[in-house]
Chain A
Amino acid sequence: MSGDPKLERIAKGNGLALCATGTWTASFAPVLERMVADAEKLAGGSQSIFIDVSEVAKLDTFGAWLIERLRRSLTQGAVEAQIAGLSANYSSLVDEVRRVRATPVVDSSAVTITGMLEQIGRAVAGVAGTVAGLVDMLGAVLAAGFRVLIHPRSFRLTSTVHHMEQVCWRAVPIIVLITFLIGCIIAQQGIFHFRRFGADIFVVDMLGVLVLREIGVLLVAIMVAGRSGSAYTAELGSMKMREEIDALRTMGFDPIEVLVLPRMLALVLALPILAFLGAMAALYGGGLVAWLYGGVDPEAFLLRLRDAISIDHFIVGIVKAPVMAAVIGIVACVEGLAVQGSAESLGQHTTASVVKGIFFVIVMDGVFAIFFASIGM
């Protein structure tokens, strides 16, 4: 390298002459920019302006552009600044740069109050769109389901079984572990507080009713939304990004039938199974704590449990599971198919899938609670 770049003024009658030397490349860009900004102040009042570049040792796009920028800002009125001493090697680069029309960048990202209000308005209006999208997907899935009922051969059994393995079989260890722990905690807290009234044994009633009616299915649904809902959105989203879904469509396949239906079906079958396993694990954990910590021996626990709960409690819990599974599946698939071309969009929709999935699961649980209360179950 031939030393640091310089830009010096050399005397030349009543004209302005600047002499550039050294290496005018990207590595020196900050220095070059400052020098050029200083030299730009010399504009005006000269009859002729020359920029001598014959001493420049090395030139790249950064250097060439800065010289061109200097030439443009020195050019005022009738006096045009000239570049002199350009070597043949670099003349095409300078010509290339001369074609650039500098247009100031419009920064549209400014934060204004109206902009914020507009965003809030759009978000509220978007809620209606979200609901419409979900209903739309529900309809499409049901229509595809009826088509499959009429032509059972178009049903994708392999795919459904594969997804069953992913969302059900592989989820068993983590679901059982977490519900077991929750059962333990509920029992421990119950015993700790009930003991003050000498009502230790009522912990069995609380555990039975709570786990079978609410906690079992709700907890499992939330975990499935996080575990499988996000996976569905990411799978469908990346297929959308790589035009795989468009490819399916052009081959005459319905993406809903090929991709969404097997996933939905797998989830609707998996969630009741997982909810049942989860409830059993929670009861087992609760029973264990009641025995070891509360001194309620297993026989007494089981006897009390039989008195405290009826089959109704179990049905109330398990009936909710397929409905929650359908909600999680629909939200996940809608979000997956809404992914746009960028990696960022995939992340946003996966987040939205989990958040909305959990939200709707809890809303559904509330609706069920009102329903069962009014029919007296």
Chain B
Amino acid sequence: MAQETQNAIQDPIIRVRDITVQFGATRVLDGLNLDVKRGEILGFVGPSGAGKSVLTRTIIGLVPKVAGSIEVFGVDLDSSSTSQRRSVERRWGVLFQQGALFSSLTVRQNIQFPMREYLRVSQRLMDEITLAKLTMVGLKPEVADRFPSELSGGMIKRVALARALSLDPDLVFLDEPTSGLDPIGAGDFDELVRTLQRTLGLTVFMVTHDLDSLYTACDRIAVLGNGKIIAAGSIADMQASQHPWLRQYFHGKRARAVMG
């Protein structure tokens, strides 16, 4: 696996340069630089309120930035044409923190929504692919005809992942995918992300607080603090770091419990 990641083309799939994001007088991101390499799972950590979700939303284009540039798949999102932007959007999938499923559509319709928009395939194939996606994320076929309001928190996460993967994207953004899942479910989820990354050559950008995920699923970890990336590297680099917050994070009681 490690060898495969190295063999992958080394150009970054996301290239973030000097971005600054400001809400009123508060500067949330301040000249931040970040590269995400093709085929890796990047774990993104930082204290609550540091701006992890803001960075994710800025890359996706939901939050306007004051300065800086963002390239995804080599396309500069500021200077790109509408059709270029659409083709980039077709190649990424986003899992929002609360799932963000369409509440008036069933699970099946939610997963088929992007397919209907972008692909011209038969209803039969869409139904079968929906079933395949549900199986992949560990849900029973019976769930397909339920509405989001009839699902548990963990099921919402899984359906949202199935929708994010609906078009087999090259890149997925996961915003706290394992929060609100039981430990076994969370472990399965990490395993699932790993499997998908391996089989589909997926690049994963994962905002997380789950130490287990960092240890088992992530190839590389980036740490956000004071509006900048304060450290990026493997889990061993993080443990060796002398930064006070990192020391607390990776040597605290919970981290020791995870490491056993």
Contacts and interface: CB of A to CB of B under 8 A. Distances in A.
B104 A342 contact: yes
Contacts of A99: 135
Contact of B131 (A29, A102, A340): A102
A180 B255 CA distance: 72
Interface residues of B, number: 31
Nearest to A340: B149
B168 A92 contact: no
Interface string B95-111: 00000001110001000
A92 B135 contact: no
User: In the complex, which range does the number of interface residues on chain A fall in?
Assistant: 20 to 34
A89 B4 CA distance: 10
A342 B195 CA distance: 33
Given A26-B119, A62-B129, A102-B131, A92 B149 contact: no
A100 B127 CA distance: 12
Interface string B198-230: 111100000000000000000000000000000
Interface in B131-164: 131-133, 135-136, 141, 144, 147-150
B62 interface: no
B83 interface: no
A29 B128 contact: no
Contact of B195 (A26, A96, A100): A96
Contacts of A344: 103-104
B198 A61 contact: no
B121 A97 contact: no
B103 A341 contact: yes
A335 to B, nearest CB: 17
Nearest to B4: A89
A43 to B, nearest CB: 17
B128 A342 contact: no
A1 to B, nearest CB: 12
Interface string A26-58: 110110010000000000000000000000000
B86 interface: no
Nearest to A101: B141
B103 A65 contact: no
Given A61-B133, A89-B199, A90-B199, A341 B149 contact: yes
B184 interface: no
B167 to A, nearest CB: 5
A315 interface: no
Given A33-B122, A62-B129, A103-B141, A342 B149 contact: yes
Contacts of A65: 125, 128-129, 132
Interface in A83-117: 89-90, 92-93, 96-97, 99-103, 105
Contacts of A33: 121-122, 125
Nearest to A68: B132
Contacts of B168: 25-26, 60-62
B120 interface: yes
A30 B119 contact: yes
A69 interface: yes
B40 to A, nearest CB: 16
Given A29-B119, A33-B125, A60-B168, A96 B198 contact: no
Contacts of A26: 119, 167-168
Nearest to A341: B149
Nearest 7 A/B pairs, CB to CB: A341-B149, A344-B104, A93-B199, A60-B168, A342-B103, A342-B104, A29-B121
Given A60-B168, A62-B125, 12 more contacts: A26-B167, A29-B119, A29-B125, A61-B129, A61-B133, A62-B129, A65-B129, A92-B198, A96-B135, A100-B135, A341-B147, A341-B149
5 contacts: A26-B168, A60-B200, A61-B129, A62-B121, A101-B131
